[in-house]
Amino acid sequence: MSTVHPIAIIGTGIAGLSAAQALHNAGHSVQLFDKSRGSGGRMSSKRSDAGALDLGAQYFTARDRRFVEVVQQWQARGWVAEWTPSLYNSRNGQLSASPDEQVRWVGAPRMSAITRALLGALPVHFSCRITEVFRGEQHWHLLDAEGNSHGPFSHVIVATPAPQATALLSSAPKLASAAAGVAMDPTWAVALAFNTPLETPMEGCFVQDSPLDWLARNRSKPGRDTAMDTWVLHASSNWSKQHLDLDKEAVIEQLHGAFAEMIGCAVPAPALSLAHRWLYARPATAHQWGALADADLGLYACGDWCLSGRVEGAWLSGQEAAKRLLEHLQ
């Protein structure tokens, strides 16, 4: 049975798009909303003079059978490719090669390629921040930050990070209070681009005991053809929390310093540098909810915070929200 009115989905990250695809494939019409100018959320990439840079999710693993299968389909369509970085580990300032057998995937030619492809031609309103989700006599309506109202909708799926979902779920107090209980930690990300390649074989590095917790040579990922040697540095949650309001120039200076100290080769001044603060980067605690639902009302929530705080968890959570909605329609 198809719904008379479309289903509204707030958030075009991987969770929202996973739900959108499942509902669209089941014959329902969906309408998506995102406050950003494009899709992807924490899987988006930033265009720069040094090519596109993956500032959020760096790569993803697939462990659940359903996700493994879908990633294989994405690979066949050319949306993702395997990334086989030369991996290192840094602990107490000691750098060591740390190869492993884990399969790691990236969007090709940039991380945002996946959500762009999933969005396809589905109807979407970008630069549209939803501030209120309310139910009229029979249907749902949304209000955006500019005072425009959208609707009617048969159901609403909120697919934003938990702190942004809380207010949008106020019609279902149980869902709102579950979301309110999920704290999310920030991550400062810095990208550096060098005219001359750094003299290191390193392409990725897990870091402990430093302001940093991860480094990636962006250029080593498949399809990132750029003349410059591009790197993405992520600060640890602790450092990011302690330096939440530091200005971007100071963040770049400090993380560039930590990078130069640990990488074991000369690091010149970068030709390009930028910083991005992810306020809600990862859930502070893990949950195994799948998705949240008030099926009688027709209000659902999904996102990485409902499962593992990873790309795979976000995709599975979107599938779960769609599944529960479809089950209730039968």
**Dist CA 274 CA 276 (whole Å):** 7
3-state SS assignment for residue 11: coil
- Which region, judged by CB under 6 A, interacts with ligand NAI, from 14-22, 97-105, 124-132, 160-168? 97-105
> Exactly one of 29, 61, 84, 171 binds ligand NAI (CB under 6 A); which one?
61
Q: Which does 43 bind (CB under 5 to 8 A by kind): ligand NAI, ligand FAD, none?
A: ligand FAD
- Per CB under 6 A, contacts with ligand NAI among 67-86 are none
**Dist CA 102 CA 263 (whole Å):** 23
**Interface pattern 160-179 for ligand FAD (x via CB under 6 A):** xx--x---------------
When asked if residue 243 is in the footprint of ligand NAI (CB under 6 A), the reply is no
Minimum separation from the CB atom of position 142 to ligand FAD (A) = 9
Q: Which H helix or E strand runs over 190? A: strand 184-194
Two structure tokens written together for 166: 């809380």
What does the DSSP assignment read for 271-299?
SEEEEEEEEEEEESS----S-EEETTTTE
Chain position carrying tokens 């979301």: 179
- Per CB under 6 A, contacts with ligand FAD among 142-161 are 159-161
Q: Are 253 and 273 in contact (CB under 8 A)?
A: no
> Exactly one of 72, 73, 94, 102 binds ligand NAI (CB under 6 A); which one?
102
- The C-alpha angle with vertex 225 and arms to 103 and 80, in degrees rounded to 5, equals 35
- Per CB under 6 A, contacts with ligand FAD among 64-123 are none
Q: How many helices (H) and strands (E) does the chain have?
A: 8, 20
When asked if residue 130 is in the footprint of ligand FAD (CB under 6 A), the reply is yes
Two structure tokens written together for 209: 């005991």
> Exactly one of 6, 13, 107, 151 binds ligand FAD (CB under 6 A); which one?
13
Amino acid at 297: L
When asked if residue 34 is in the footprint of ligand FAD (CB under 6 A), the reply is yes
When asked if residue 129 is in the footprint of ligand FAD (CB under 6 A), the reply is yes
**Dist CA 325 CA 38 (whole Å):** 26
- Per CB under 6 A, contacts with ligand FAD among 276-305 are 278, 281-282, 303-304
How far does Cα 117 stand from its chain's mean position? 15
**Interface pattern 1-40 for ligand NAI (x via CB under 6 A):** ----------------------------------------
When asked if residue 103 is in the footprint of ligand NAI (CB under 6 A), the reply is no
Peptide bond preceding 109 in cis form (omega within 30 of 0): yes
Two structure tokens written together for 14: 């991987």
When asked if residue 100 is in the footprint of ligand NAI (CB under 6 A), the reply is yes
Judged by CB under 6 A, the number of residues near ligand NAI is: 14
32 phi/psi in degrees, rounded to 5: -105, 155
What does the binding site for ligand FAD look like in residue numbers (CB under 6 A)?
Answer: 10-16, 33-36, 41-43, 56-60, 129-130, 159-161, 164, 187, 189, 234, 278, 281-282, 303-304, 309-311, 314
What does the binding site for ligand NAI look like in residue numbers (CB under 6 A)?
Answer: 60-61, 87, 89, 98, 100, 102, 187, 206, 234, 281-282, 309-310
